[in-house]
């Protein structure tokens, strides 16, 4: 299958691997991708091959995305972040959806700290 995803518009992505869900395989993985713009839109891509998924992750990491487990976030897309607890992690808001409600994602404490550091030093 030929697929093109405009990586410049991606603000977050969640990968599903066989470790996360035993119903997916190396040839039928899934990706949830949030796209930015006037509103945040989420798209589910099914039947993504392992190599396609890994190349997508590598491209996002190369662009400066922060990884929290299988979730990758563009620090520049964050509007608001609140740490719940260092061990638990926190919530980030990456924009607003069609319903004008905030699009929030839960991230781990280590990723929250990395995001905060990147945002604190973005003008340096």
Write out the H or E segment, with its range, that includes residue 16.
strand 10-16
Q: Is residue 66 part of a domain?
A: yes
| Number of domains within the chain | 1
Cβ–Cβ < 8 Å for 78, 122: no
Q: Is residue 1 part of a domain?
A: no
The tokens for 70 are 């299988």
**What is the number of other CB atoms lying within 10 angstroms of the CB of residue 27?**
11
pLDDT at 8: 92
CATH, residue 56: 2.40.50
Spatial CA neighbour of 33 closest among 81, 19, 18, 3: 3
Confidence of residue 124 (pLDDT cuts 50, 70, 90): low
Q: What is the pLDDT of residues 68-114, one digit of tens each?
A: 999 999 998 988 888 876 777 889 999 999 999 999 999 988 888 88
Q: What is the pLDDT of residues 28-74, one digit of tens each?
A: 999 999 999 889 999 999 889 999 999 999 999 999 999 999 999 99
The tokens for 38 are 């006037």
Q: Is residue 83 part of a domain?
A: yes
Q: Is residue 63 part of a domain?
A: yes
Domain that holds residue 16: 7-120
Strand 71-73 relative to strand 10-16, pairing: antiparallel
pLDDT at 71: 95
First to last CA, the chain: 42
């Amino acid at each position: 299958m030929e697929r093109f995803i405009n990586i410049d518009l991606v603000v977050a992505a969640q990968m599903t691997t066989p470790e996360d869900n035993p119903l997916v395989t190396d040839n039928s993985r899934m990706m949830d991708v949030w796209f930015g713009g006037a509103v945040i839109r989420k798209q589910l891509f099914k039947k993504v091959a392992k190599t396609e998924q890994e190349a997508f992750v590598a491209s996002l990491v190369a662009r400066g995305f922060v990884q929290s487990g299988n979730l990758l976030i563009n620090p520049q897309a964050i509007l608001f972040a609140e740490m719940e607890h260092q061990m638990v992690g926190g919530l980030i808001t990456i924009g607003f959806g069609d319903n004008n409600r905030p699009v929030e994602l839960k991230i781990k404490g280590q990723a929250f700290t990395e995001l905060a550091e990147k945002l604190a030093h973005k003008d340096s």
